Structure 1
Amino acid sequence: MTSFARTDTSLMGRWWWTVDRWTLLSLIALMGFGAVLMLAASPAAAERIGLKSFQLASRQIMLLPLAAALLIGMSLATPRWVRRIACFGLIGSLLLLALTLAVGAETKGATRWINLAGLSLQPSEFVKPCFAVVTAWMFSLQREENGIPGTKIAIGLWLLVIALLLLQPDLGQAVLVSTIWGAQLFLAGLPLAWIAGLAVLGAGGLVAAYFALPHVTERIDSFLDPASGDRYQINRSLEAFVNGGPFGRGPGEGTVKAQLPDAHSDFIFAVAGEELGTIACLIILGLFAFVVLRGFARLMGENSLFVLLAASGLLVQFGLQAFINMASTLHLMPTKGMTLPFLSYGGSSLMALALGMGMLLALTRRRVGGEAQ
């Protein structure tokens, strides 16, 4: 690819010289870490549920080339096509989200998965990036003063998504979507008084969830008072970081993963801590931080409000999701079943994140003239 000349006007030539190659490289590096950790963590999980040792790993690794292709293919799009794809994606994922409540399988007291043609799909994963782009479009339309009530439409979409997520129930995804929406509202120029009011409303919602949802009560109580609940996974997770030390025991040499039921998904960062060590964990953390900070740096001086809001929403989703997973693993906040982007097991999460980060790369490409549309 480096053979592309700056004067190359082909589709791939223009893409190569306008896309953020450092962010692309960082995302591919995260996928690489994910492949290594999946080979290390998934055999124990597969054996626990009666599968062949590397069956889960092979499923995930087979999806990585498709995810990389989706990431790069999406990054070729113009902002106009990003909007179109996000609109169709949001409509489809909302329909599937509603269908999940009717015919989805219940797991651990929640209905979040639906089987389509033999494939298990989690629609809420695809809602997040598409929602971020569509609401950004609505907010930008409102500012263009063309008579379209963009803000009201964005509020309606937010209420619809939150209602569907809470019916599952999935409080973590609801909080994540609300944070994306709130960040975009702030950047769109909402008065600070409104921001404060929404913050109070959000805090009230979390208090209500504490009293209304037993699993939320249990997790918060367990976080605040170690003697009040089951801390088995958290204790094993912290033990993994102690065992690993600065350089780790080596890939495949960890023991805690055999005792962690969710070592291949929610607690994949603990496997990294034991087998790769603290230094590798800091590199992973640095990659996440680099993607987020470089993304915002690319937006400095952006003239398109839509691009600014959409890319910011995607960055907030990516960064906050990574923070929640790592903070939960390190017991810095109550546990929450949320994947670590590109590292945790889960086809829906992997493909949805590839879609969202592809949109981000498309929106942050350097364009001139009509290409900016």
Structure 2
Amino acid sequence: MATFARSDNSVLGRWWWTIDRWLLSAIIALIAIGFFLTMAASPSVANHLNLDPFYFVKRHSFYLVPVLITLVSTSLLSLRNIRRVSLLIYFMGLLLIAMTLFSGSEIKGARRWISFMGLSLQPSEFIKPALVILCAWMLSERKLNPDFPGYVAAFVFYGFVIFLLALQPDMGMVILVSTVFFGQLFLAGLPLLWVGVSGVIGLLGLGGAYLVFPHVSHRIDRFFNPNLGDRFSERYQVSQSLEAFMNGGFWGQGPGEGTVKKYLPDAHADFIYAVAGEEFGLFFCLIILGLFLFIVLRSFARVLSEDNLFILLSVAGLAAEFGLQAMINIASTTNLIPTKGMTLPFISYGGSSLIALSIAMGMILALTKRRNKGRWL
């Protein structure tokens, strides 16, 4: 693609010279690191499950081609088609999340997965970026036309998602989606008072989740009282994770020399950052952290002077969602917050997460493209 001439008017030629290539490079770097770490972390997990040692590596490789195709294809979309695709994903996502409540597999006290043609799908991963776009659309229309019920429509879109996520239950996803949603409302002009009121309501909701959902209370109790954990608990995994970081030091034990992956059942998924810390050290972990930070800040920087509210709210929401997901995973791995089954974007193993993230990042690339006249698309 680097051989495209500036005079090339083909679809890919125009795409190459208008896309943010620094942002694209950082995303591809994360995808490459994710494959590299899956090769390091997953064979021990596969052996523990009596599978082929490269079972997860092969499946991860299988997803890479559709991930890259989805990333590029989504980044080619126009503003109108981004809205249309998001609307389609939203309603399909609602239907699939509702299906998980009746036919989904229960894992750790929640029903979040549904099997489709031999593959496991987590619908909530796909509905996240769609909700960001639809809320940005409704809120921006409200600014253009004061008579348009933009706030009401945005709350309706948000409410259906939160209701179904709470029924699964997936409180971590509820927190993530809610934080991004109210951030968008604030950027759209919601008074700070209402932001504070929303925060109080959110805290009350967390308290209610603690009282109603046993797996939520267990995780929080184990976080504050480690003695409640056992060898199969999340607390045990966190302890092993912290030990892995200490063993890794600054430069790491070396590729293949880590031991934490032999004891962590989620070493290839939720705790893959610990594998990176043990085998490649603090320096490599900081590189990963720097890539996440670069993507978020670069996305924000591209729309700082944007006069199109829809683009501003969409990019800000998608970038914040991406960064918060990474922050939650890393904070869980390093025992800063109670454990939460949330993947590290583009790094953890998981087809649903990879495809959904490629859609979200493709939308950011599409929304921040430069026009010939110097404006951002």
Instruction: Compute the TM-score of the two structures, normalised by the length of structure 2.
Output: 0.96
Q: Is the 8 A contact 2:223 2:338 kept in 1?
A: yes
**In 2: Cα distance, 1:244 partner to 1:65 partner:** 32
Aligned to 2:226: 226
Aligned equivalents of 1:159, 1:219: Cα separation in 2: 26
1:255 aligns with 2:232: no
Structure 1 position 115 matched with structure 2 position 110: no
Question: In structure 2, what is the Cα distance between the partners aligned to 1:81 and 1:371?
Answer: 19
Question: Contact 1:321 / 1:339 at 8 angstroms: preserved in 2?
Answer: yes
Comparing 222-231 and 152-161, the one that deviates more:
222-231
Residue 337 of structure 1 corresponds to which residue in structure 2? Answer: 341
State the distance in 2 between where 1:365 and 1:314 align.
15
Coordinate RMSD, CA, aligned: 1.5
Could you tell me how far apart the structure 2 residues matched to 1:91 and 1:181 are?
Answer: 18
Which residue pairs with 2:315 in the alignment?
Answer: 311
Match in the other structure for 2:367: 363
**Residue 213 of structure 1: aligned partner:** 213
Query: Aligned to 2:112, what secondary structure does the other structure show?
Result: strand
Whether the aligned pair in 1 keeps the contact of 2:229 and 2:236 (CA below 8 Å) is: no
Give 1:372 shift.
6.5
CA-to-aligned-CA distance 1:325-368 (integer Å, 9 cap, x gap): 00110111111110000010110001000111001110111125
Deviations 1:194-251 (A, max 9, x none): 1111011111111111222222212222222323434210110011111111111222
Give the C-alpha shift of residue 319 in structure 1.
0.1
Q: Are 1:282 and 2:286 matched, yes or no?
A: yes
Task: Check if 1:130 corresponds to 2:134.
Answer: no
Q: Post-superposition shift, 1:295?
A: 0.5
Matched, 1:266 2:258: no
Stretch moving more, 169-178 or 246-255: 246-255
- Counterpart code for 1:61: S
Distance in 1 separating the partners of 2:367 and 2:189: 21
Q: CA deviation at 1:167?
A: 0.5
Does the CA contact (< 8 Å) of 1:100 and 1:111 recur in 2? Answer: yes
SS state of the match for residue 341, structure 2?
coil
Aligned equivalents of 2:209, 2:93: Cα separation in 1: 25
Q: Which residue in 1 is equivalent to 2:5?
A: 5
Give the Cα–Cα distance (whole angstroms) in 2 for the partners of residues 196 and 229 of structure 1.
35
Percent identical pairs in the alignment equals 54
Q: What is the CA-CA distance between 1:2 and the residue it aligns to?
A: 2.2
Q: Which runs of 5+ in 1 are unaligned?
A: none
The amino acid that maps onto 1:104 is: G
More displaced 10-residue stretch of structure 1: 165-174 or 222-231: 222-231
**1:271 positional shift:** 0.4
Q: CA deviation at 1:10?
A: 2.1
SS at match of 1:6: coil
Of the structure 1 ranges 176-185 and 147-156, higher mean CA displacement relative to structure 2 is found in 147-156
Q: Which runs of 5+ in 2 are unaligned?
A: none
Contact 1:97/1:164 (<8 A) preserved: yes
Q: Aligned runs of 1:143-162 on 2, under 5 Å?
A: 143-145=143-145, 147-162=147-162
Give the distance between the partners of 1:74 and 1:139, measured in 2 at CA.
Answer: 22
Match of 1:24, as an amino acid?
L
Runs of 4+ in 1 over 6 A off after TM superposition: 369-373
Q: Secondary structure at the match of 2:111?
A: strand
The answer to whether the Cα contact below 8 Å between 2:67 and 2:355 also exists between their aligned partners in 1 is yes
Partner of 2:77: 77
How far is 1:39 from its partner?
0.6
SS of the aligned residue for 1:276 comes to: helix
CA contact (8 A) 1:79 1:372 kept: no
| 1:132-186 alpha-carbon deviations (Å, 9 max, x no partner) | 1111111111111164312101101111101100111100011111111011001
Matched, 1:298 2:297: no
Q: Which position in structure 1 is the counterpart of 2:54?
A: 54
Residues 46-90 of structure 1 deviation map (CA, whole Å, 9 limit, x = unaligned): 122221110111101221121011111111111111111111111
What letter matches 1:199 in structure 2? G
Cross-structure match for 2:94? 94
Within a 5 Å distance, the mapping from 1:36-55 to structure 2 comes to 36-55=36-55
Alpha-carbon distance in structure 1 between the residues aligned to 2:193 and 2:32:
44
Measure, in 2, the Cα distance between the counterparts of 1:183 and 1:371: 25
Does structure 2 retain, via aligned residues, the 8 Å contact 1:221–1:229? Answer: no
Equivalent residues of 2:70, 2:358 under 8 A apart: yes
In 1, the alpha carbon distance for the partners of 2:375 and 2:293 equals: 29
Task: Tell me the CA shift for residue 3 of structure 1.
Answer: 2.2
Match in the other structure for 1:246:
250
Q: How far, CA to CA, are the matches of 2:199 and 2:229 in structure 1?
A: 29
Q: 1:41 to 1:10 in 2, by over 3 A?
A: same
Match of 2:95, SS? helix
Which range is displaced more, 256-265 or 215-224?
215-224
